[in-house]
Structure 1
């Protein structure tokens, strides 16, 4: 779903202060996630397939590392060639930018089933807001493949190992998914942190414009960059159809929280915006059920030294699974988010997105067309509604 600001008066975020102030280190450097995408199963692995994956950085820094994921694999995954460069256009790379990544000094790496692992650091500076291209190849991939299904970004595939090539000549097939890659980090100032947006299809960017980075976390990343905030990294950990409480479209938020959020370097704040898939379509989930799920996220994040920003559930009347019972749950949950005092910060996406003429519906100018997902304007309005100071968590990074 997406959001755009109508005027300054509508864009309020409610701030609550954390209980245990402590300032992060201000000297030295550390690793911070600059891009992330939640892992899920994406079909089966294809032998001798190569992928040229286009991702957008948020925080700039040095010593880039990529995290490869075989989280949903049922056997070891061997990647025999992994390169990183900068996109020129399409599958074409900027001349001289493509460089080989290594793993404990080796060119090939085997990721055990159910695991993730990082590459060695790639020396050099990497800018914020750039299209990084990770090219990887597996000679014998098979069984369940791990990746992110709805990338809202065109990447490229080919048969055979063409990962070292900067030319686009052999990269003629396209894909709208990311494969075997779930995070990228850079090394930057110790005062710099990241926010991880834990969400569903609205966070994942459905109904935003593809290949233009207009998901609401993308707009947020650009705001943070312009403001010179200490929060520079933004990891989009949304999965379309995802729920807080139950597996289905990906593992539930509770079940994937450690891997998709807490394991990411430099995350200082968790931004929780989920719940609509739990309550719609007569699932039987009550407000108390959903609030209990929120409390688990808050408790686990706080135990790990992170702050938690919460967001109200956006209106969705007109969507096929809306009914008065689901609306009643939404209203009760939103009241808890606004007034419960358990989140460290609150952004009222419901208030920003809803129509003044029918508060159960999304404002038409923000509606992507299905009455649930915002368009580009809606996405921007959501990002504009976030109080940037609320994301600078006082807990020290772990």
Structure 2
């Protein structure tokens, strides 16, 4: 049975063939080929604390793209809002410079429309996908995406940890080459995706804070999915990478912080469980052909710390959840790759116990040996301490015994067999 990526390739070929045979192509079809995700952020709701409120302000996001192309689409999200989201203007340009720069490249600024409209209202619970925008985006390039919010707008839909500094400026400065920031946020506000009309397929990385990039340096794009994209480009594999990791995410449970605990102030950023968000965050990615799943450590570590002890799970529960993700990926035509859970003995977050280590080992053994995933990525072996395999390698430890540092992220990316994508 053809996979989704096979069908995408056949569809692209059919379109090109029809065009060269002289069949009329609609005027709106500026280019051929399928849309492929080049950047993504998985949206969540916010904690029950007063939200950030924007009014007559512009938020400029910097997004680091994987695949390139001559046309792009932008996806906004009001999926956790309970009132319409009014966006007065949105513009996109190539980002100039690197690091924390939010300046734009001269001559690349483009107005973004949605069904021909530049001023739009997004219904509660809905996303909104833009019209195609003609803009040459090189593979590995950065975009500056600016949203103007004219009305009083509580920020209720966001990606809570972007590890990229985005800026807020007064007024509608969406078209400005440089903006004067009144504040900086390391979150993606109402922005959830960019797609390009190029590429063969997208690799979607589904995970938690380790996939999201926790404890890596801001503004450097050293998350392991970013570094995987670098390797794919170097190998001339025409693939986008869409990172939908959410810090604190679990396979089986939504956030459920104990009443009165500090976790009440941040746990909602952990997002819906992977079982709940899989269709929205993975299967809905344009051109999704592969999914890499790295999940399970928070299911082990959260109960009794930032979740109630009643949510303790066994390795059989984790395997059940992984099997469900595999089934849903296969039903949609995606290849699914399982990644082993990294070691965390000696962590500073209270996750480690002998019981949790036994469950981790049982889950990893199943991922490696069951044959149920289409391929295995052994992050455990890539990051463990040779002297004590239950701990992170000290060279890769960011300091908390759980999250890899930038060097650890590089080791993870290097451990991914590129043959999985050929």
Unaligned segments of structure 2, at least 5 residues: 17-32, 256-269, 304-310
- Aligned residue for 2:283? 262
- Aligned residue for 1:246? 253
> Is residue 2:185 matched to residue 1:175?
yes
More strand by share: 1
Aligned residue for 1:234, secondary structure, equals: strand
Larger mean CA deviation between 278-287 and 119-128 belongs to: 278-287
Aligned length: 371
For residues 136 and 78 of structure 1, what CA distance do their matches in structure 2 show? 10
Superposition pairs of residues 319-338 of structure 1, within 5 angstroms: 319=347, 320-338=350-368
| Structure 2 length-normalised TM | 0.85
User: Quick check: 1:104–1:120 contact (8 Å CA) kept in 2?
Assistant: yes
- Aligned residue for 2:315? 287
- Aligned residue for 2:69? 61
User: Quick check: 1:91–1:171 contact (8 Å CA) kept in 2?
Assistant: no
- Aligned residue for 2:236? 228
Superposition pairs of residues 150-189 of structure 1, within 5 angstroms: 150-168=161-179, 170-189=180-199
- Aligned residue for 2:334? 306
User: Quick check: 2:54–2:155 contact (8 Å CA) kept in 1?
Assistant: no
More helix by share: 2
Instruction: Return the offset for 1:144.
Output: 5.0
For residues 242 and 46 of structure 1, what CA distance do their matches in structure 2 show? 27
Aligned residue for 2:389, secondary structure, equals: coil
Unaligned segments of structure 1, at least 5 residues: 1-17, 393-398
Structure 1 pair 130–21 and aligned structure 2 pair: CA distance change class (3 A): closer
Superposition pairs of residues 194-205 of structure 1, within 5 angstroms: 194-205=202-213
| Structure 1 length-normalised TM | 0.90
Give CA-to-partner distance per residue, 1:279-324, whole Å, 9 cap, x none: 1255521001111110111111111111101001000011122111
Residue of structure 2 aligned with 1:131, choices 135, 139, 142: 142
Residue of structure 2 aligned with 1:85, choices 89, 93, 97: 93
User: Quick check: 1:75–1:143 contact (8 Å CA) kept in 2?
Assistant: no
- Aligned residue for 2:324? 296
For residues 336 and 171 of structure 1, what CA distance do their matches in structure 2 show? 49
Aligned residue for 2:346, secondary structure, equals: coil
For residues 194 and 302 of structure 2, what CA distance do their matches in structure 1 show? 36
Structure 1 pair 377–75 and aligned structure 2 pair: CA distance change class (3 A): same
> Is residue 2:319 matched to residue 1:273?
no
For residues 39 and 45 of structure 1, what CA distance do their matches in structure 2 show? 17
- Aligned residue for 1:107? 118
Say which structure, 1 or 2, has more relative contact order (CA 8 Å, 6+ apart): 1
